[in-house]
Chains A and B, each alone.
Chain A
């Protein structure tokens, strides 16, 4: 018997099952793109038939970090930038869980940049959704790592002198095995991409364009979107790094110029997840660690029997 009965329960589900009853109502501003992520995630979870109790949704800090307050599953609202290390350890400790991490562009690409790079490199089996609104929302409109050059804010009154960060290229180069960009104004594509990302066995990075009508009037919902998966102009081989890299280059320039390409850019289905690699070298148990503590028959090893001989 498993100690975690909710895991693997997959039945047909309704997206409303992920709505936490009466309270709390989202505190996001009217028109905020974050609603789009919430909707897409609910749709994806329902489509995958995930039980709310086998999902762990880990977030950072920011307007984006409130996602798991409005999505009903197990949740861990952590600290600014630190969702990834917490999420990936939870997955290692209990690989049965469906682990999704989420946060903002400041959260994920700024303060959490180091963790972002290394989580992608290690290819943990999890999904990382970054709400990219090119601004710090919760702290009231400061320039973020993805804000365009010249972007003016209260803390950078003369406009940013920095090139915006290129998140897709970053995660691709760091080693993520699934890289996509979608947008709140593209709800169907967004849901499909999240489904695919969760199903993918490895680190899935979804750069999710969200608008922040309160602080970032240049929000991307006003520009035309092209879905590279559907468009004949962008016939790409998604398993090919080089072609993904070329397209990203184009996309990330385009993003700053006003045309937006969304869709799935890279999907390497062959690369084993970190967990698998770790199992291959003998540093990861086959059975979930977490189950052991609930198994009354489990025999706990003792250092006296195992290691003390070498000290005698």
Chain B
């Protein structure tokens, strides 16, 4: 029996069954007839000057269609979409081991790999800038030719006078924290197919988070008009930020330009993905936090250094979010946040769920725990005392005029049995085991922030069969924005999901709606879709009124598959009604833009784009943690998250986002680290880059703290990111309480054992 899938109900995702049955086709599942394979030769050297490249053998190899180098790149040969500093193919200099230096197009994968191996590359190595210290040394070799040395951007945000205020504080805590580079490790590695038409139009199917914006990035890099680039983005096999910005796109487009009209496929191996794909910025964070004797936070001075690797990507914007979130979800009167975004010869750092924020949460929650210890205060009560409330100004002075549920999240934890029973649980630790219960309070700005027009254009169509088709135009990388769009359309159009169709982003069929990022996808497109669906509903009721000869459309209502007269029960099937509509008249479009704040702190003008934010989801997390005294192994026995994401549209999807983010956050806390020596990556595959498996994680309990986000679709706000930020500080908090003051993530058994040694108890 058909049922209307309503907002707020726990329901199966629209996309789930095809995926479970292996029927869904991802970009990597495309093998077009007659296709060629493209692959890149990687520098293999982290820093060097290209002296020569001998491609003669590769070119002569049977089955090789093209061997391309920097000379063959027709445009600016620069990738990036805010900062354009990354060559498609390096011609003179290589800046990290994963830099692409040549591109081969071949008939088969075997020929491709032989041809790539046959290219003789002559690179003169330069001294390697292997991290922040090396990059910031006075005589450091320069990764780029900048007057500022290796500093891509330096900025300071100021509210009040934090340095002066610190001198009056009753108590000050100070610590330096380090976080590693983290790899996204989406299971579907970077890939796509491309074919150039006779008329010069380039058709591409890519696993990408930003198909609309990709047109401009590819166009600029390769000198192609963006309107001749046609991209489709099927469901992604994961993204998490790592497919926000060109991965295969420019290389693939270049390959297609030399393929004589044949389709070309490029699919990075896992090893190539780890080497050449984007990563989360490693960071070093020095924090000084001052408070009054009663725990009221007064002043924070912090210095944040972000290692952006060889190229800028979104490094500056990521650092901006780090500075913006440096004081946590708390009232802090005085702030001085200094940031530097620094080039090194490490893999390129870029967007990753918790964009710049996941790093600072470790630091600010770390100093909160140390402050609680110093004041002998309960760590939860210290947080609750200082938590942002509606109407407060946050760390950078933005007024909290939107939903602000931080205190409520903490209240949830306070009442939870795991918090209530924490001392007993610790006491009952088995032999050779230490136990601790830790908490963290976190937030994460939603949307692009000021200056980037966070907008979406939604389209819904009544098909010839009388069904509704939603044209999603923000990639669905698994977060479930697009099934939620179906749910919204069902709600407004009063349809059963069996009457709905869903199209994934296609630059020729749907309208630009920005990237799948920043917790914005459901919010921004959802607001646009509500308008489109309401317009469609009104249109259909009015047209039906004409057919049914009623004077007042308000007596009509949409029911599954039909328009119905509420009084007489007379029904007009949509399949019949559609025939009355001219084909050009069968769709509706809605547009929406996220509100921004004009409250900008001193120094904030340094960030023209993406700073600051107005709307924040909040979360309070708890971790019950055990440490094995013989091996230093850390395991998380239980995990609880309270999350304020505004109204919950589908509890199942909400929990998925929380649990998935917590899992990645626990990976960040305990295992994940792109480990490099002298710029050479040692974590080359999934046997040594460790992401958690089913046996490594606990059940993750998720509770929604529902607030009403007035500006959001059905009162929601995006929670894709905030859950990522809690686990690292929550686990650190638990470890601190068992006498292990960890300042460097991940908390490997080795670091834990070393901390035992520093602990005389």
Q: Do A and B come from one complex?
A: no
Name A's B-contacting residues (CB within 8 A). Answer: none
Name B's A-contacting residues (CB within 8 A). Answer: none
